[in-house]
Amino acid sequence: MTRSVGSLAHSLAAGARVGARGVVVHTGSAVDRDRRPAALRQVAQMLLPMLETLPDSAPDVLLEPTAGLGGSLCATIGELGPYLDALDRHPPAWLFLHTCHVFAAGHDLTAPGGVDTVLGELDRTVGLDRLRLVHANDAKDPCGSRRDRHESIGAGQIGLEPFRDLLAHPALDGISVIVETPGRKEGHAREVQTLKGLRPQ
């Protein structure tokens, strides 16, 4: 943890130098469920003092929930609550929604009204005003698989429709959407076009 906080401080300084708006932070894991309270206390002891001393000019700290393997501290939306509590719900700690990870962690974006359900749950747990970014990725594996394998938009288990619902949701007003899918630049350009085509006109 000392090392992770050190590397985060380093990334934030580097981010500030290049004018980055945010730096993505992986939320960490505990060896097993019994160790979670201790791991969260460690987050509080090490990460919180750093957040408290960040200058206003620092890039946003963007907490990335994972797909849920390996004792991850933040995969399901419910787990974000205790994590942010450990950080005293500190203002520079923002969140982002990662479609592949949240789906792999067990939130079914493909169910009827699935996107609304997920965003509603996110709102109740952490508040949608903490949402700063979306990583839009399809998933190779089914909902709840906890496997972190991204797929091109529309080519995986999520499919296109949930992305249409997501892009139409008021929570996404003014929020950046990034694709982080397999393939090279041309593939990414195509997927960005696909997403643009799904946006409400």
Q: List contacts with Zn ion (CB under 5 A).
A: 148
Q: What is the CA radius of gyration of the chain?
A: 17
* CA atoms of 141 and 41, how far apart (whole Å): 33
Please identify, using beta-carbon distances, which residue of 58 and 118 lies nearer to Zn ion: 118
Task: Report in angstroms how near the CB of residue 77 gets to Zn ion at its nearest.
Answer: 16
Task: Report in angstroms how near the CB of residue 39 gets to Zn ion at its nearest.
Answer: 20
Please identify, using beta-carbon distances, which residue of 82 and 182 lies nearer to Zn ion: 182
In eight-state DSSP terms, residue 146 is -
Please identify, using beta-carbon distances, which residue of 148 and 191 lies nearer to Zn ion: 148
Burial label for 95, CB within 10 Å (0-12, 13-18, 19+), is buried
Task: Report in angstroms how near the CB of residue 138 gets to Zn ion at its nearest.
Answer: 11
User: Which single residue brings its beta carbon nearest to Zn ion?
Assistant: 148
Contact 99, 134 (CB under 8 A): yes
Please identify, using beta-carbon distances, which residue of 60 and 148 lies nearer to Zn ion: 148
Task: Report in angstroms how near the CB of residue 101 gets to Zn ion at its nearest.
Answer: 6
Tokens 């700690």, residue located? 93
| The residue type at 69 | L
Quick one: tokens of 74? Answer: 């933040």
